[in-house]
């Protein structure tokens, strides 16, 4: 078995490592480098194996999420949604009431100055 295969087996035994990848605090490359330098039985893994991630959302989590939002894509999505709502409202609007005819034809024998 190669070193990479051993690392993959080690990660399968410790699925909590994926939480650190998801929140951006570690990368698979960093985990592999630690594994390569220290091996499986070192104390360094206690920090990552026994540490359970918090499940509640804090203000820092919300701020971090807000920083990662692409405003241009958000605006494009809102505009698309607005167009779709407008289209549906036009399609399903009650069009049974006719508009009042305000046009009154001018008499043929009158001129504009009369």
pLDDT at 89: 85
Residue recorded with tokens 């508009």: 99
12 found inside a domain: yes
pLDDT band at 88 (very low <50, low <70, confident <90, very high): confident
108 pLDDT tier (thresholds 50, 70, 90): confident
Give tens-digit pLDDT for 4-53.
Answer: 889 889 989 988 888 888 888 889 999 999 999 998 888 888 888 865 55
| Same domain membership, residue 37 and residue 13 | yes
Which domain covers residue 88, as residue numbers?
63-92
Report the alpha-carbon distance of residue 46 to residue 71 in Å, rounded.
40
> Based on the domain organization, do 41 and 20 belong to the same domain?
yes
pLDDT for residue 114: 53
Domain count along the chain = 2
The residue among 22, 20, 7, 99 whose CA lies nearest residue 65 is: 22
24 lies in some domain: yes
Q: Is residue 28 part of a domain?
A: yes
The answer as to whether 32 is a domain residue is yes
Q: Are residues 48 and 69 in the same domain?
A: no
Q: Kindly report whether the global pTM for this prediction surpasses the value 0.85.
A: no
Together in a domain, 49 and 78: no
Do 80 and 47 belong together in one domain?
Answer: no
List all residues 6 or more positions away from 36 whose beta carbon is below 8 Å from its beta carbon. Answer: 3, 7
- How large a percentage of the chain has pLDDT more than 90? 11
Distances (CA, A) of 105 to 99, 101, 111, 114: 17, 11, 12, 15
> Are 49 and 12 members of one domain?
yes
| Residue in 28, 22, 38, 30 with CA at minimum distance from that of residue 8 | 28
Residues shown for the chain: 114
Average per-residue pLDDT for the chain: 82
Collect contacts of 13-22 with beta carbons under 8 A, ≥24 apart: 14/45, 14/48, 14/49, 16/48, 16/49, 16/51, 16/52, 16/53, 17/48, 19/53, 20/48
pLDDT of residue 113: 65
pLDDT in tens, 44-79: 888 888 655 555 678 887 888 888 888 888 899 999
């Amino acid at each position: 078995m190669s070193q990479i295969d051993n690392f993959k087996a080690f990660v399968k035994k410790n699925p909590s490592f994926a939480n650190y990848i998801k929140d951006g605090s570690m990368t698979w490359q960093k985990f592999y480098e630690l594994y390569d330098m220290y091996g499986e039985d070192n104390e360094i893994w206690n920090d990552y194996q026994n540490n359970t991630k918090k499940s509640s959302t804090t203000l820092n989590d919300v701020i971090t999420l807000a920083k990662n939002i692409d405003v241009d894509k958000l605006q494009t999505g809102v505009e698309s949604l607005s167009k779709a709502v407008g289209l549906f409202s036009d399609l399903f609007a009650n069009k049974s009431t006719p508009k009042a005819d305000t046009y009154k034809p001018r008499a043929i024998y009158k001129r504009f100055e009369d």
